[in-house]
Amino acid sequence: MSEALAGRSRRAASLSAVLIALAALAACSHVAKLGPSHWHLPWRHAPAPPEPAVHELLAESAAGGAVPQLEQSWNRNNLRVSLTTLSGEGEFSLRPMPGHTWPIRLEFLVQPGAFAHLEIRGDERVILSVPAAGAATVLPAPQGLYAPATAALKLHYGP
């Protein structure tokens, strides 16, 4: 009889140890919520910093209109020009800042539904369609649209 009681108490002790270990593991997931935000925990990573703004291209308004403020940033070796502030219809030109050259690759970040098409005229002419709905979309400028000697790109956005 004492051996049966000893076996039961060993099983109860091991079951208790497993339950305590599971409770400790569950508590670890809440440590980040309870502690100061400056604690470094190995499973918690800081968000990636935003891309720094650059000024590689100069925007000039067509026919004396308002000059659009366009954010520019590097996405690897692509210069990303944000057109998310534009809507309706309009026209402007882009040229390299004095002392700069054209980037190897150029892409445009557009807000779907703000306008239907983006026409770009450089050495060639291309019309890019903008989606009607969804999240902000990147439209890459095709190779051959501009060359190092191209003075400016003329952009027209609208229906």
Co-location of 15 and 66 in the same domain: no
Structure-token match 């009889």, residue found: 1
pLDDT at 71: 93
Q: For the segment 105-143, what is each residue's pLDDT rounded down to a tens digit?
A: 999 999 999 999 999 999 999 999 999 999 999 999 999
pLDDT at 14: 85
Co-location of 67 and 137 in the same domain: yes
Domain of 95? 57-158
Co-location of 93 and 150 in the same domain: yes
Q: For the segment 63-98, what is each residue's pLDDT rounded down to a tens digit?
A: 777 778 899 999 888 999 999 999 899 899 999 999
Q: Which residues contact 25 (CB under 8 A, 6 or more apart)?
A: none
pLDDT at 3: 63
Threshold 0.75, pTM exceeds: no
What's the CA gap between 158 and 151, in Å, rounded?
23
Q: Which residues contact 32 (CB under 8 A, 6 or more apart)?
A: 39, 41, 44
